[in-house]
Chains A and B, each alone.
Chain A
Amino acid sequence: MNEPTDRLLAGLRRVAVRMDEQSQSSARIERPYTTVNLVSPRRPLATWIVAAMTLAVVVASVIAVTNGGDRTQVFGAGGSRLLLQAPGWAITRHDEADEGGSTHFETTYRSGDRRVDLHQRPRGYNDEFMQGSSDFTVLGHEGVLLPSGTELRAFWRDGQWDLELRGGPLDEAEFRVLLGSIALVDETTWEAALPETVVRPADRARVAAEMLTGVPLPPGVDMATIAQSARQKDRYQFGVEVVKPVLCGWMAQWVDARRTGDATREKEALDALQSSHEWPVLLQMAVEGDYPEAAWSSIDQLADDATGEGAAQRFRSGFNC
């Protein structure tokens, strides 16, 4: 082994050690504002477990948790919207996802190279962060401010909702200005603030049809339900919503045809899946994220007898078909 290689490998081992050190330290947060020791901002395992259990209990009970007389703000379609209205800041991304019987809202705002995300989740997600004394007030609700690397994070609670504003690079004074600019607005004001890249409920059918141009549909797949949701979606996430039933449908046909020995249907499904490399919707999504790449890595193994069935199985479990 020549010396440059020795040096390179030794350097890689040091980098690995440093990665582990920082992975551990990133699970803690220093909080100069009070002497309270706070737990991880990145939700260590134990906290996740507690959070998952808490959420499961909340969902299973379907009964609103009492919260000491707090009003419960109705958010989303038909209710109020939280809008950050600081000058120079604009929404660049917004997504709403149904998870565990509730809705999660995530909105990205940018001003130049600075970015903040406003997360709105069911009550419980902020439990671990709201153990210290209050640092600020948003719309009458007290909250806790935490520095986290180059970011700042603010946590507060509004009735059944837990909210988090997170981002940077910003100093604390700038961040507090952003917090102070958050207002409750009506749906019309909210809609006007959304960028074109957000797929509105009224646009779902049209955008889905555009995305499916040139995409072969498997028999029996029902794309109509996609248009019925009231959720506003980030275009990438909407692409996932649209493409998933198509990919899953063809994969189901491939598995079934393989099982029954129907070579014609097997080939039809394989051809359709392999054509996904050329689907405009996936090519567009590949620029932003790894969903298409993950799909293609399984699809590319289907034609090989040795790997095909395993790839199909991994695909169907991995993509929640």
Chain B
Amino acid sequence: VEIEVRRPAVPDRAFERFVETDGSRLRRALVARFGIDPGNDAANDALAHAWSHWSSVSTMANPVGYLFRVGQSASRRYRRWQRHVVVCTFDEAGASDVYDEGLVASLGRIDHRQRVAVLLVHGYGYSYREVAEVLDVSVAAVTNHVHRGLGALRSQMKEQGRTMEEQG
């Protein structure tokens, strides 16, 4: 494993750059993993951890993957009331159609790794490599998660459509 040893001349700027780029990928992944509120809380905790341990985090081979695990650990205290993960909600301001609401419900029911992979790759357009980095798994594993996740979503959406047709 290659470890990039660097000590930025101006750590604050390096940290800000990290937050702007990897930080948003981290936040999106944690929201996809745990839902909108717990995910954001976990991302805040992970970034706070990054700040307070910046000298070591900045030299890691895969800081975003490490911080995803930090966020996972932190998320435990933020999970509440949810039987299924809710990655976003639709109110009047975010009015959407029935399909999108069904999709969010389906996303909440599929395997969490598949959900993160599907949303990052197809929702946000990250590369498989970028997603593999966050989840700290191989590109092949991400490919599998995406493939299976899309399959699971298709069958759930199909089922929902059938139910809606039956209900008139």
Binding site for B on A (CB under 8 A): 4-5, 7-9, 11-16, 18-23, 26-27, 42-45, 48-49, 51-52, 56, 106, 113, 115, 117, 149-150, 167, 169, 236, 288-291, 294, 297, 309-310, 313-314, 317-318
A8-B103, A8-B157 as given contacts; A19 in contact with B76, CB under 8 Å: no
Establish whether residues B41 and A42, one from each chain, have CB atoms under 8 Å apart when the complex forms.
yes
CB contacts (< 8 Å) of A48 on chain B: these are 44, 47-48, 51
B52 → A minimal CB distance (Å): 5
CB contacts (< 8 Å) of A11 on chain B: these are 99-100, 103
B163 → A minimal CB distance (Å): 16
Sample 16 A-B pairs with CB under 8 A, ordered by A number.
A5-B150, A7-B99, A8-B103, A13-B122, A15-B103, A16-B123, A18-B88, A18-B94, A19-B123, A42-B40, A115-B80, A167-B80, A290-B76, A294-B73, A297-B136, A314-B62
Establish whether residues B96 and A19, one from each chain, have CB atoms under 8 Å apart when the complex forms.
no
Q: Which of B1-50 contact A (CB under 8 A)?
A: 1, 19, 23, 27-28, 31-32, 36-37, 39-41, 44, 47-48
CB contacts (< 8 Å) of A45 on chain B: these are 19, 23, 44, 47, 51
Q: Look across to chain A and name the residue whose beta carbon is closest to the beta carbon of B75.
A: A290
Q: Does B64 contact A (CB under 8 A)?
A: no
Give the residue of A7, A14, A52, A314 whose beta carbon is less than 8 angstroms from that of B65: A314
B35 → A minimal CB distance (Å): 10
A48-B51, A290-B72, A317-B66 as given contacts; A26 in contact with B40, CB under 8 Å: yes
Report the interface size class on chain B. 35 or more
Q: Look across to chain A and name the residue whose beta carbon is closest to the beta carbon of B118.
A: A12
Q: Which of B62-118 contact A (CB under 8 A)?
A: 62, 65-66, 69-70, 72-73, 75-77, 80-81, 87-90, 94, 96, 99-100, 103-104, 107, 118
CB contacts (< 8 Å) of B60 on chain A: these are 317
A45-B19, A310-B1 as given contacts; A16 in contact with B136, CB under 8 Å: no
Q: A42-B40, A52-B48 are in contact. List 19 more A-B contacts (CB 8 A).
A: A4-B158, A8-B154, A9-B122, A13-B123, A14-B96, A15-B104, A16-B124, A19-B28, A20-B28, A27-B40, A42-B44, A45-B23, A45-B47, A51-B48, A113-B81, A289-B73, A289-B76, A314-B66, A317-B66
